[in-house]
Every structure is written in structure tokens, then in C-alpha cells.
Amino acid sequence: MDNEQQNRVRKRKQLNKKNLFLRKYIKDVQDGLSIKVYNLQISQINIQSNEANGKDSDDAPEQFNVAEASLLRKVIRKGLIESKNDIEVQRQNPNSPLYSVKTFEALNLNPNLLKGVYDMGFNAPSKIQETALPTLLANPPQNLIAQSQSGTGKTAAFVLAMLSRVDVSKKYPQVLCLSPTYELAIQTGEVAAHMAKFCPEIEMKYAVRGEEVSRGSRITEHIIIGTPGKVLDWALKFQVFDLKQLTVFVLDEADVMIATQGHQDQCIRIHKKLNPSCQMMFFSATYDQAIMEFAEVIVPDPITIRLKREEESLDNIQQYYVKCAGPQEKYNAVTNIYGTVGVGQAIIFCQTKRTANWLAEKMSKEGHAVAVLTGDLTVEQRINVLDRFRSGQEKVLITTNVLSRGIDVEQVTIVVNFDLPVDMQGKADCDTYLHRIGRTGRFGKHGIAINLVDTQEAMNICLAIEKHFNRKIQYLNAEDSDEIEKIGA
């Protein structure tokens, strides 16, 4: 066997090994074999606080780990959100070209990468991809901060840019993509493996728990996808690759990253070791002041692309409030409304696990097809509940704030706030309210939001929400079937 044949055999073995590795990870994610059993219960601090005050944790507002909630949104997403909203662009570098594309062919991609894009089911760029991809692929490379909700195509956008920037003739890491958790890194790797399906010459490596390297060895793969702690160990402690040789640095789930203790400092340590010419790509599902302050440290002279939030347009959602004397009257109002209005599916938001479980039990006993989703369930169980709800096997989903953001079920036509959302100080949580009622009226359709008010304090919260959004929340008599019928007309 000559040298050329030996090289082909060696490369084929390496490719088979890589494919087996990737398939193992993908299968682990799909089957739930490697996903840690998350309970998404109230944080330890809140549990201790509640115990000190003599409160049952089931009676406290549920607090959810942001990384786990983000993973849930990614895993259950069945396709891209079709948003018609405008792109808001802030071009900080006036010399940077900025344009958009309507087809993937216009990007002049590697033909095999283009084949992988189409194989994933992408026929045309999504809104965020139209503007982000030309910027990410421009020469000289442009730094970018991109923000849009889950499901709009952010991951595919930066993965395509990562793969396009690889020089396969150089056998060392050129691209680093950081995610806040093992599971989220694997999700990104799954997208990258699928998109690079027809480019076996592009090699990737995971820097996540369970993966080890020998001190003194060198990583030869082109792309590293991993978590900050593991990447720091490999780059600085074991020195198996050189951060200064990277040409692309991607920070995914930046909003989750800065909310995870320790990750922000780790990302800054990694950033300080990068070559100043390294292209920075910063992606986030939220766009608040904390995110932007972090971005200013990580990303110099960026172009900022923001997909305007669909939820901020409340014109297509009718908002009502119902006065109730207590939990039983709230329950009666829910059944009266749901039994009278011709709705597709409904989501009912409760503030605590105890209330959610109590309501689900009562509705189930009366023959309603009800699903309940709280922090008592594992990730796998929650995915199963949502899949059943999406397929219409249950018409009512009772949940806490884990579903207030990013979950889109087109057939949801009514949202009920069994308890109005409040912050830790007991004041109106307008942001959560916006995301809750935004679960209906999706994709430009009309929706209904019902707020149940049982105390003067709740009424004050309702009025504060009304004032904040400058949108009238109308009174509804839930005992008047004629009036209820009108709202569903």
C-alpha cells in the first residue's frame, strides 16, 4: 500500500471516528440519555429563604435556571418562527458594508455547504439570516452582535459563518464557539454536523465534560464547540491549542452566559487571549442593558442587528380582567370562559406549583384534556408534555413561568393569567406579563388574554400593567355567557 492509499485509509478512519462521535452525542440528546435530570425547582437561595420564613416551596413563585429554560426552547422547536417583523440595525462602524440577501446562493457559499443548508430544510434565509449572513461573511471580517428570539435562525446563521471561515489546509483550531452548558453546546454541534454533512474535510471537536486531552498533545480539528471552563483548561492549563490562532470567536446564548455564575469572568479571560483581528460573533435572545455592557467588553466596533420583538405589538390581543372572590371563583371563571369561547388551545399561567397542580387536578376531574408543566418534571418529561400539547392531545396547558418566553404554538388562541405576574418585591412584572400573553396572537393572528383578579392588590397590579403598556384591559363578567361569547366572535 503506497503512502497516498495509507493517507486515504487514515482519513477515512478519522472521519468514521468523528461521525461516530457526533452520532453518539446527537443520539444522547435525542434519547435523553446524557441530559442531566433537571428538576428546575426554585433556586437553593429561595428555598432556604422560604424555609426560614416557614413557607412551603410549592407556594413560592417558581424560579427557573435560564440555561435549562433555553435548552428546553431549543429542543422542542420544530421549525423556524415565520416573523415578518423589521430588522433594526445599528452600524457603529461607518466603513462597514451592510446589505441583505434573499437567497443562500447570493452568499457565494462553498457548494457542499450550500447543499448542507438545503438538506437541513432551509429554502430561503430567515429575517435575521438575511442581514446577519452577509455581515458575517464579508471581507474584511466584521464583528457582529445579533439578537432575536429563539427559533428565528440565529444558530444556523453563525454555524454557517463558522464553517465558511475554516481553512481546511491548516490543521489547528481556527473557530471557537462557546455555550453556557454541555447540553447547549451539543445542540450547536448537532446543527454544525448536519450543515457540514457534505464537507467531511471540516473537522470539529467538543470541549465539554467527559472529553479529555493529554497534556502535551495538540488539537488538530478546525472548530471547537464547548463550554468556558473546559476551553480555559485546554487552552491555558494544558495548552493543547493556541487562542491567538483563532480567526472566529462565537459567544452563543450570551444572555444565559452572563446569568450563569462564573461564565462571564471565564469568557473575558478567554477574550483577552484572542488575537485583536479575530472576528467576534455575539448572539443573544434578549437585548437588555446588562447584555450590551458585556458586549461592549467582548465585541469591539460591532454592527448590531436586532429583530424587533413581535410580542411588543399588543394590538392584536384583546385583554380583559375578571373580578373573583377567591380561588374557587377563579376556577369557575376559567371553566365558564373555556366552555363558552370557541378556542383552539389555551395556556393558563399560575404563579406557584401548588396552584398549577390544584387547578390541573380540578379540571381533569371535570373531563377537560389538561396538561400541567411545572418544575417537578424532568427536561424529558417537559418535552413530552409540550409535544402532546402541540399535537392537540391536550387542549389546556397549565404552567408556571417556565413557558412565559419563547414557546410558540400557533393554535393557542387564549391565555389566562390565573395569577398576575409579580416580581420579588410583589410589584407588577410587566416584562413577564408581556411574554405570557404573547403566547397567543402569534404570527399576526388575533388572541385573547384573560386576567383573574381576586384582591385589591391584584387589581392594583392589573392597573399598573395597563398603565405601563398604555393598553386598556377591559372588564369582563365571567358569569354572563352572552358577554363571554362576544369576546370570541
Q: What is the pLDDT of residues 158-200, one digit of tens each?
A: 999 999 999 999 999 999 999 988 878 888 998 999 999 999 9
Residue 146, CA atoms < 13 Å, CB-side half-sphere = 30
Claim to verify: residue 112 and residue 255 sit in the same structural domain: yes
**418, 348 in Cβ contact below 8 A?**
yes
What is the mean pLDDT of the segment spanning 129-148?
Answer: 88
What is the mean pLDDT of the segment spanning 106-123?
Answer: 92
Give CA–CA dist 259/242, Å, rounded: 27
- The sheet with strand 474-475 has its strands ordered as 370-373, 396-399, 345-349, 412-417, 447-453, 317-323, 474-475
Claim to verify: residue 411 and residue 273 sit in the same structural domain: no
Claim to verify: residue 443 and residue 465 sit in the same structural domain: yes
Long-range contacts of 284-288 (CB under 8 A, 24+ apart): 284/145, 284/146, 284/147, 284/253, 284/254, 284/255, 285/70, 285/147, 285/148, 285/149, 285/150, 285/154, 285/253, 285/255, 285/256, 285/406, 286/147, 286/255, 287/147, 288/255
Q: pLDDT tens-digit profile of 234-247?
A: 999 999 999 999 99
Q: pLDDT tens-digit profile of 193-219?
A: 999 999 999 999 999 988 999 988 999
For the ranges 279-283, 436-440, 476-480, which has the lowest average pLDDT? 436-440
Band of the pLDDT at 57, cuts 50, 70, 90?
Answer: low
Claim to verify: residue 289 and residue 372 sit in the same structural domain: no
What is the mean pLDDT of the segment spanning 222-244?
Answer: 96
Q: Which of 266, 292, 308 is the last residue of a domain?
A: 308
Instruction: Of 21-30, 183-192, 204-213, 389-398, give the range with the top mean pLDDT.
Output: 204-213
Q: Does a structural domain hold residue 41?
A: no
423: domain CATH number is: 3.40.50.300
Claim to verify: residue 299 and residue 360 sit in the same structural domain: no
Q: Which of 288, 308, 328 is the last residue of a domain?
A: 308
Claim to verify: residue 303 and residue 449 sit in the same structural domain: no
Claim to verify: residue 335 and residue 464 sit in the same structural domain: yes
Q: Does a structural domain hold residue 34?
A: no
Residue-level pLDDT at 30:
40
Q: Does a structural domain hold residue 52?
A: no
Q: Domain total for the chain?
A: 2
Q: Does a structural domain hold residue 356?
A: yes
Band of the pLDDT at 381, cuts 50, 70, 90?
Answer: confident
Q: pLDDT tens-digit profile of 409-439?
A: 667 888 999 999 998 888 998 877 877 887 6
pTM of the model: 0.60
Give CA–CA dist 351/87, Å, rounded: 34
The range of the structural domain enclosing residue 273 comes to 75-308
Give CA–CA dist 292/392, Å, rounded: 39
Q: Which of 308, 328, 343 is the last residue of a domain?
A: 308
H-helix segments, 304-416: 327-340, 353-365, 379-390
Give CA–CA dist 328/322, Å, rounded: 13
Claim to verify: residue 246 and residue 348 sit in the same structural domain: no
Band of the pLDDT at 80, cuts 50, 70, 90?
Answer: very low
Question: Given a cut of 60, is residue 22 above it in pLDDT?
Answer: no
Q: pLDDT tens-digit profile of 341-372?
A: 666 788 899 988 899 999 999 999 988 889 89
Q: pLDDT tens-digit profile of 436-461?
A: 887 676 545 678 899 999 999 999 99
